[in-house]
Amino acid sequence: MLKIRLTKNELKKQKDALKMYNRYLPTLILKKQQLQIEIRKVEERRHSLQEEKDSLEEEFWSWIAVFGEDAGLSERMIVLEEFRRGNGNIAGVNIPLFEGAGFAKIGYDLWVTPLWVDRAIEELQRVMLLDLELRVLKEQHFLLFTELRTVTQRVNLFEKVKIPETKMHIKKISIYLGDQQTASVVRGKIAKRGLERVV
């Protein structure tokens, strides 16, 4: 434990520190609550997107026989042209935002290609968009959770260590200074009686 000086200056320093801790603690608690709410929102969004993606993939199982047909499908038919991300700020944490994606228009022979290919490409693009948004949400979750851990550590430090420690120091210094003042009054009275006897 830190050794403190038992002086009036140290008492003032400790009281100022206590005021500062009590002033910042509510802000940290509020930030912690905001982060928890935002993490919950991100988790709910991830869950709903994952369910949507799973249902799309289930639909593809009904198409699986069609995909076995040689229709000239290849990965070149779905080309991600642009991936748009923005920046946001939640409770002082910079996070990425999914703003969308664009796919290149790939031309193919409409006379040779079966009709279902258009719909298959659209559905695969939807799945790809969901995957991209899920990646961004995963990154958001990681950044928010990391900040939440840091803020929680600070809240615990203030609540469980710094504030009780500072109160204990203030009490210790106040008791010591009070004892010193009482002792000096007693010494003064003893000295006064001694002088009265001499006179």
The 10s digit of each residue's pLDDT in 115-145 is 666 777 788 888 889 999 999 999 999 999 9
- Tell me which residue of 38, 37, 23, 153 sits closest to 94, measured CA to CA: 38
Q: What is the distance between the alpha carbons of residues 26 and 141, in angstroms, rounded to a whole number?
A: 24
Q: What would the two tokens of residue 22 be?
A: 């009590």
Q: What is the distance between the alpha carbons of residues 98 and 134, in angstroms, rounded to a whole number?
A: 9
Confidence of residue 20 (pLDDT cuts 50, 70, 90): very high
More confident: 4 or 43: 43
Calculate the CA 67 to chain-centre distance: 43
> What pLDDT digit, counting tens, does each position of 167-194 carry?
999 999 999 988 888 888 888 888 788 7
**Torsion over CA: 179, 185, 191, 193 (sign):** negative
Is the CB of residue 43 less than 8 Å from the CB of residue 141? yes
Residue 34 pLDDT: 95
- Which domains can be identified in the chain, with CATH numbers? 9-182 (1.10.287.3240)
Calculate the CA 83 to chain-centre distance: 25
- Tell me which residue of 114, 167, 138, 116 sits closest to 49, measured CA to CA: 138
Q: What is the DSSP letter of 82?
A: E
Q: What is the distance between the alpha carbons of residues 171 and 165, in angstroms, rounded to a whole number?
A: 10
Residue 169 pLDDT: 94
Residue 46 pLDDT: 96
Residue 149 pLDDT: 97
Is the CB of residue 175 less than 8 Å from the CB of residue 12? no
pLDDT at 1 over 60: no
Provide the residue type at 50 as one letter.
Q
More confident: 74 or 168: 168
- % of the chain with per-residue pLDDT over 70: 85
Q: What is the mean pLDDT of residues 33-40?
A: 96
Confidence of residue 86 (pLDDT cuts 50, 70, 90): very high
Q: CA end-to-end span of the chain, whole Å?
A: 51
pLDDT at 89 over 80: yes
**Torsion over CA: 65, 68, 72, 75 (sign):** positive
pTM for the full predicted model: 0.76
Confidence of residue 151 (pLDDT cuts 50, 70, 90): very high
Please, what is the angle between helix 8-68 and helix 116-156, to 10°?
160
What is the rounded average pLDDT for all residues in the chain? 85
Residue 108 pLDDT: 64
Calculate the CA 159 to chain-centre distance: 19
Residue 150 pLDDT: 96
